[in-house]
Structure 1
Amino acid sequence: MLTMLRPALVLLAAFTVITGIAYPLVVTGFAQVLFPFQANGSIISKDGKPVGSALIGQLFDDPRYFWGRPSATTPFPYNGAASSGSNFGQANPALHERVASRLLVLRVADPSNTEPVPADLVTASASGLDPHMSPSAAQFQIGRVARSRGLDEAKVRALVVDHTEGRTFALLGEPRVNVLRLNLGLDELR
């Protein structure tokens, strides 16, 4: 029995050291050297203080700011510890209620805007944490944000264009706007 147990325990100890200690340390070391911004949470700072992550959305509901996609996380929006979508299908009445509620909020916030509301402003992403919105979602909000801040719409539109990211490697995904970075840029406008 001991002859069979000894090799098993030696292998358990060896693989614990290799996969539980050595491998994570090597991967963490490479990540810190090659990709320090991403390895440390993609934290965005303002005046030397962290204000959020480039990878996790935040709730903005002040009319002076651009609003991102709704979040389906619980118990509060953009809860990084509870990443999930709503899992509501198109036929689910709860989805229709949420979309109608969000449409109402957007229309009340900017009654003069009669443009069609982009889908990503009324539906949550699969993770519920999406930090981006489509350029059309940003364009939809330019009038409200400019009026709320007393800014020229052309200036705000130019800011949106400056903050629009293209496709990854010029072919993956869709153009997008990081909501936090756009709002920080907005705060810098005078």
Structure 2
Amino acid sequence: MLKNILKAIRLSLILWLLTAVIYPLLIFSVGQLPFLREKANGSIVANLENQPYGSTLIGQLFTSDKYFHPRPSTIRYSQGKQARPTGISGASNLAPSNPKLISRTLETANQLRDENLQITADLIYTSASGLDPHISIKSARTQLERVARARNIKQEEIMPLISRFTDGRFLGIFGEPGVNILRLNYTLDLNEFNRKQNN
């Protein structure tokens, strides 16, 4: 019996070493290869002061007219231009007939009307995760006039950036193309900074 107990202990230690030490170290090492490092470390974008601006994988709150606004979210965001989610991901789980959901949707739709923006589904409805960093091309173009006016630049200067930061369908067939809001807003800030430096 003692022999079986020792054998079980040895087997447990070997399995622990494989699954809790060797495997995680192997995966971490592969993730730090040059062509994988950015994604493995969270796809963090740094600002002009080399401080974290945000992750291109996580939706963030932008409220100024100078920025393209993201999808609404049930996740509570921290405040500021570099706002980051502070809660766990997930949808509200409210039924379509829930008065709270109906009220929030109508409020968002009325706000878009007040801003003379075309109402699109992804500017009214949250994503399943609450952290979707993309909006549709149509939703980006809807906000184009407002952003160009707030930044005092021509819409034609922003259109190439919308195209540049549009991610295609997953594997070429799943989902719809979407514009990455963080990359787009960051580049608009960078271009504005460079214009001011050159003047």
Q: Give the TM-score of the pair, scaled to structure 2.
A: 0.84
Match of 1:92 in 2: 98
Structure-1 separation of matches of 2:86 and 2:10: 39
SS at structure 1 position matched to 2:32: helix
Structure-1 separation of matches of 2:77 and 2:180: 24
Name the stretch that deviates more: 81-90 or 63-72: 81-90
Corresponding position: 1:51 with 2:53:
yes
Match of 1:12 in 2: 12
Identity within the alignment, %: 39
Q: Which amino acid aligns with 1:181?
A: R
Q: Which amino acid aligns with 2:29?
A: G
Match of 2:179 in 1: 177
Trace 1:6-155 onto structure 2 (pairs within 5 A): 6-33=6-33, 34-47=35-48, 48-74=50-76, 79=85, 81-108=87-114, 110-111=115-116, 113=117, 115=118, 117-155=119-157
Residues 146 and 156, structure 1, Cα contact 8 Å, conserved in 2: yes
Deviation at 1:102, TM superposition (A): 1.6
Residues 165 and 176, structure 1, Cα contact 8 Å, conserved in 2: yes
Q: Give the TM-score of the pair, scaled to structure 1.
A: 0.88
Name the stretch that deviates more: 46-55 or 99-108: 99-108
Residues 71 and 78, structure 1, Cα contact 8 Å, conserved in 2: no
Root-mean-square deviation (CA, aligned residues, Å) is: 2.0
Q: Which amino acid aligns with 1:164?
A: T
Q: Which runs of 5+ in 1 are unaligned?
A: none
Deviation at 1:153, TM superposition (A): 2.2
Deviation at 1:80, TM superposition (A): 5.5
SS at structure 1 position matched to 2:64: coil
Matched length: 186
Residues 91-121 of structure 1: CA distance to partner in whole angstroms, max 9, x if unpaired? Answer: 222211111122233233x23x4x3x11111
